[in-house]
Amino acid sequence: MSEDKIRSKALALVIILLAVALYNNYRMKQELNNMRSEMSSMEAVLRNEINGVRNDADHKYESVAKKIEQEASLFSDTSINMGMQDGKLLVTMQAVPKALEKNETVTASLTADGTVYRQALDAENQAQFMLEPAEWLEPAFVIESETGYRQEILKPVYTVNTMLARAECDFYDSGANDEGMFHFWITGNTDGNPFEEDEIAMAEAKIAANGMAESPGGNGGSHQESGYSQAVSEAQVVEVQHAAYDQLAGEDLTLTKLSGGTDKIVGYRIDVSDYIGRKDNVNYEVYLRITLKNGLQYVTGGPLISFASTENSSSRSGGSENLVPVLDF
């Protein structure tokens, strides 16, 4: 056999062996990937099963804890409902005792800002309180007799969500390209209106500069946005902002009350045309304060309106902000 033939056969054998090695390597990678995929699937299934067991255990624990709490309670049912009336917090407490001995009476107790309020339950097992606004309430029920008393203290109650209002801003007469006009409406919350129009003593707006606006892109022109933030849910605790309105270094704006029947509490119009006309690329923000006749004040937690303008472009945005009660007046 010639040397060339031997070399050719050797080369062919090397190519075959290399192909077999590459194929085996490919198969091993495929098997490894399949194993990894199976392991990931098993991990996901196991994780879901563990989460399911944990959730089931948590649910059973909560159920048992609630049952133990109910069995240990002096009452078969208790409830606390809140609302606003004439600028005050209206609290209705109800408790149905499991059993009352002779000459025993049930009294509802509320602690607000260090002051304790007490009232005996009526024939419907209810007691009603009209309180000055307070951020937290500490409720309790007391079963009393001449020989002593039994008391059940309930969880503290957060009240601010009941007192919240909303300021919903929109662009006014945008079809006429009147960039300086905004209007907004005051609305209530899921518990109702915390106040009515005839309870308002004063509505104020203040405009403040908040740095330079970002340089507009494109070929100029104007644009507008309307971003409504999500309303506060009943279970959510919001941060009360104290006296921030007075600390703003800004100028007062004139508010014009809107007319016409609506399901809102009241509406106002704001004209910021003079500031837009400056075209100074400053980011302006407008804040709102409502003062009730009893002295309680509501302030927006953030800017209700933002806008900026230059020689070639302008931008403005209006949204929805919480009107939060200031509870240290």
Quick one: 174 and 61 in the same domain? no
Q: Distance (Å, rounded) from C-alpha 162 to C-alpha 109?
A: 20
Token couple for 254: 């004139």
Residue from 260, 240, 319 nearest 285 by CA? 319
- Of 114, 140, 158, the domain-final residue: 158
Quick one: 84 and 175 in the same domain? no
Helix (H/G/I), strand (E/B), else coil: 148: strand
Token couple for 233: 């849910």
Residue from 267, 252, 149, 263 nearest 204 by CA? 252
8 A C-beta contact, residue 142 and residue 174:
no
Quick one: 124 and 260 in the same domain? no
Quick one: 38 and 80 in the same domain? no
Token couple for 75: 């009452």
Quick one: 138 and 282 in the same domain? no
Q: What is the pLDDT of residue 214?
A: 64
Q: What is the pLDDT of residue 171?
A: 66
Quick one: 191 and 316 in the same domain? yes
8 A C-beta contact, residue 246 and residue 258:
no
Token couple for 215: 């340089």
User: What CATH number corresponds to the domain at position 128?
Assistant: 2.60.40.10
Quick one: 180 and 123 in the same domain? no
| Beta strand ranges found along 72-135 (DSSP E) | 75-85, 88-97, 105-112, 115-120, 126-131
- Side-chain half-sphere CA neighbours of 115 within 13 A: 10
- Side-chain half-sphere CA neighbours of 170 within 13 A: 9
Share in percent of the chain as helix, strand, coil (round to 5): 25, 45, 30
Q: Distance (Å, rounded) from C-alpha 150 to C-alpha 138?
A: 17
Residue 152 DSSP label: E
Total domains in the chain come to 3
Helix (H/G/I), strand (E/B), else coil: 269: strand
Q: What is the pLDDT of residue 244?
A: 65
Quick one: 149 and 168 in the same domain? no
Q: Distance (Å, rounded) from C-alpha 153 to C-alpha 112?
A: 14
The boundaries of the domain holding residue 275 are 161-326
- Of 158, 174, 192, the domain-final residue: 158
Quick one: 22 and 102 in the same domain? no
Quick one: 47 and 80 in the same domain? no
Tallying the residues shown for the chain, one arrives at 329
- Of 67, 88, 123, the domain-final residue: 67
Alpha helices in the chain, H assignment, sequence order: 3-72, 160-163, 244-247, 273-276
pLDDT tens digits in sequence order for the chain, 329 residues long: 677 777 787 788 888 888 888 888 888 889 888 888 888 889 988 999 899 889 988 888 888 877 887 777 889 999 999 999 888 899 999 999 998 888 899 999 999 999 999 999 999 999 999 999 999 999 999 999 888 899 999 999 999 889 999 998 876 554 445 567 888 899 998 888 999 999 999 999 999 888 776 654 444 444 444 332 332 223 344 444 545 677 777 788 989 998 765 778 899 988 888 888 888 888 888 899 999 998 889 998 888 888 888 888 777 777 788 898 988 64
Residue 275 has phi, psi (to 5 degrees) of -75, -40
Quick one: 12 and 25 in the same domain? yes
Quick one: 150 and 204 in the same domain? no
Q: Distance (Å, rounded) from C-alpha 120 to C-alpha 307?
A: 55
8 A C-beta contact, residue 157 and residue 80:
yes
